[in-house]
Amino acid sequence: MSYFTKYHRRIKVTNLKTAALILIIALFLLPSFTPASNGEETVFEIMLNGDSVGRLRSPEPAGRLLGEVRRELAQGQEDPFFVDADLFIEGRKDMFAHFTDESEMKEQMKAILLRDQTVTDHPAYSVKVGQTMVSVRDLSSVTDMMQKTVDTYQTGKEFVVELSSDTDRQINVLTAQTVQSDVADELKKTVLAAGSGLETDTSKVQDMAVGEGFEAFDYGLKNLYFANKVEVAEAYLSEDQLTDPATGADILTHPAQEQKIYEVQAGDTLSEIAINTETPLETLIALNESLEDENSTIRDGQELIITSPVPPLSIGREEELYYEENYEAEIEYIYNDNWYTNEKEVRQAPSAGHRKVAAKKVFWNDKEMETEILMEEVTYPAVAKVVEVGTKVPPTYIRPIYGGRLSSGFGRRKAPKKGASTYHKGVDLATPVGTAVMASCGGVVEKAGWGSGYGYVVYINHADGRQTRYGHLSKVLVKPGEKVSQGQKIALSGNTGRSTGPHLHFEMRIGGNPVNPLEYLN
């Protein structure tokens, strides 16, 4: 037994000696494996875009190596080299560290950057109009795209698009403008101000001899221009960010805003709607066929168009035209100071006239903006529509009490108690006895006192012919013949007469007939 024990010990010692010898040899033959003194030496793991590229003794060389790789890659390509480079360094302690050679680390970095680079084509160009931007491949595509936007409004190539430096910008930005194709070269370089045309006496002439005097005009397209500022700048973009000229022209000229609708509310006027919706009154009238002018009647619930779709780029043009048309004379008004503004009556029906016209028209896209009649020959005159309208502002009506619950509405109902009417001629507002009752509108008191089934009542006649009634009062504070103003305290609510509880009966009559008063309150 002792023999085997000695042998086992000898084998164990021999193995340990052999392992130690191998380790020493490895340390000399493989210098990249460096022993750490007492486990204190720090190792830095270098990560690029989430992948390890090796280990260094110090973090300082990592940034330098990445910069060298990026410069080498940029020098080797025709187009700019774009890539995200996220460098992350993690330090740790390790007994034995395998450090990476700098040249090997650079190769690792290069492979990752080539993998993650942003692919670009040749420099692209972005065209900006307001908040809309369209990008195309080159300058010829820019010119082609902008030419397509104006060719819609010309039959030939009377006006062509040219690019030039934008003198209003400090950086290198181009602008697009139109020039007449047959003007001098120096005139072609003129940059058109946004929204203005190129002033020139030359133009394409359409010969039209339509009658004595009319042949003196040169009919046809006189001017064509971009009504918005056009900016063109160089950019480096991926292929999926570019568009073709035809699609780009459609984007620039397609309306970017849908029409909005406004629903007329009780008490609205056209001028108030124009102000509240920030829509010019003349625009509001032009957008809605139901409106003839600022005095047109509108009704509660009526829908009005308040905006018109507008494309990012508007094309302005001026044309001289000859045409014959039926025309309407301007409406003539007779103002009646005894009528309210919501009252009107047609005194003379209109009749269209006919005329020959030579005119200069200004368009933005397809919308006519201005018309200047250069010559007119009336075949037979139009008869104007004559309308009598009131000038007085109609009175308004307010709720006669603060608060109050609607306990019975206007119209057919089940009789609340024996002897009560099954057709309610007003509305009941439940409120405690003694609540202040105010005049809904200014006027003259017709009745103030006992009113049989109404109990104590007040009747007020108003300037527009209407009458309001206030019933079941506990106290009357006005007298017949007394003038009262809107909001003036005229009585206290109560429970008098044929009543089922404390409330105010509020009634309105037009032409002697009861109507729902709630529909006339502001």
Look at residues 225, 232, 233 and name the one whose alpha carbon lies nearest to residue 193.
225
- CA 100/CA 448 separation, integer angstroms: 107
- CA 130/CA 245 separation, integer angstroms: 18
Measure the CA angle with vertex 95, ends 93 and 100; round to 5°. Answer: 80
Fold (CATH) for 405-520: Glucose Permease (Domain IIA) (2.70.70)
Residues 389, 333 contacting (CB under 8 angstroms): yes
Residues 333, 245 contacting (CB under 8 angstroms): no
Residues 316, 368 contacting (CB under 8 angstroms): no
Cβ neighbors of 462 (< 8 A, separation 6 or more) are 395, 441, 442, 443, 468
- CA 293/CA 286 separation, integer angstroms: 9
**pLDDT at residue number 121:** 58
Half-sphere exposure for 516 (CA within 13 Å, toward CB): 8
Measure the CA angle with vertex 88, ends 82 and 93; round to 5°. Answer: 155
SS3 268: coil
**pLDDT at residue number 187:** 37
* Cα distance between the two ends of the chain: 119
**pLDDT at residue number 1:** 42
Residues 42, 92 contacting (CB under 8 angstroms): yes
- CA 365/CA 29 separation, integer angstroms: 83
**pLDDT at residue number 277:** 84
SS3 290: coil
Q: Which residues pair with 88 in a beta bridge?
A: 47
**pLDDT at residue number 54:** 93
DSSP single-letter state for residue 166: -
Look at residues 338, 344, 337 and name the one whose alpha carbon lies nearest to residue 465.
338
**pLDDT at residue number 199:** 32
The backbone torsions φ and ψ at residue 265, rounded to the nearest 5 degrees and listed phi first, read -105, 160
Cβ neighbors of 443 (< 8 A, separation 6 or more) are 395, 460, 461, 462, 463, 468, 483, 484
- CA 517/CA 505 separation, integer angstroms: 11
Residues 515, 441 contacting (CB under 8 angstroms): no
Centroid of chain to Cα 424? 48
Q: What is the DSSP string of 99-162?
A: PPPHHHHHHHHHHHHHHHEEP--S-EEEEEETTEEEEESSHHHHHHHHHHHHHTT-SS-SEEEE
- CA 346/CA 344 separation, integer angstroms: 7
**pLDDT at residue number 482:** 96
**pLDDT at residue number 275:** 85
User: What does each of the 522 residues of the chain score in pLDDT, given as a tens digit?
Assistant: 444 333 334 434 444 454 444 444 444 444 444 444 444 557 999 999 999 999 998 899 999 999 999 888 888 666 666 677 899 999 888 777 789 999 999 999 999 998 887 665 568 999 999 889 999 999 999 999 999 999 999 988 899 999 988 777 666 789 999 998 864 344 334 433 332 332 333 333 334 444 468 988 989 999 999 999 999 999 888 888 899 999 999 999 988 766 788 999 877 888 889 888 878 888 888 889 889 888 888 888 899 998 877 899 999 999 999 999 999 999 999 999 988 887 889 999 999 999 999 999 999 998 888 999 999 999 999 999 999 999 888 899 999 999 889 988 888 766 655 555 667 889 999 999 999 999 999 999 999 999 888 899 999 999 888 999 999 999 999 999 999 999 999 999 999 988 889 999 999 999 899 999 998 898
Q: Which residues pair with 367 in a beta bridge?
A: 364
What is the total residue count of the chain?
522
Q: List the structure tokens of 400.
A: 């006669």
The backbone torsions φ and ψ at residue 239, rounded to the nearest 5 degrees and listed phi first, read -60, -40
Residues 462, 442 contacting (CB under 8 angstroms): yes
- Output the 3-class SS for 428-480: EEECCCCCEEECCCCEEEEEEEECHHHCEEEEEECCCCEEEEEEEEEEECCCC
Element (H, E) at 7: helix 2-29
SS3 384: coil
pTM for this prediction = 0.47
Q: List the structure tokens of 494.
A: 């109560």
Taking residue 131's Cβ as centre, other Cβ atoms within 10 Å add up to 7
> Domain ranges in the chain?
33-118, 405-520
- CA 62/CA 120 separation, integer angstroms: 27
Q: List the structure tokens of 243.
A: 């568009």
Q: What is the DSSP string of 204-232?
A: --B----STTGGGS-BEEEEEEESS--EE
**pLDDT at residue number 9:** 41
Cβ neighbors of 115 (< 8 A, separation 6 or more) are none
Residues 367, 316 contacting (CB under 8 angstroms): no
SS3 13: helix
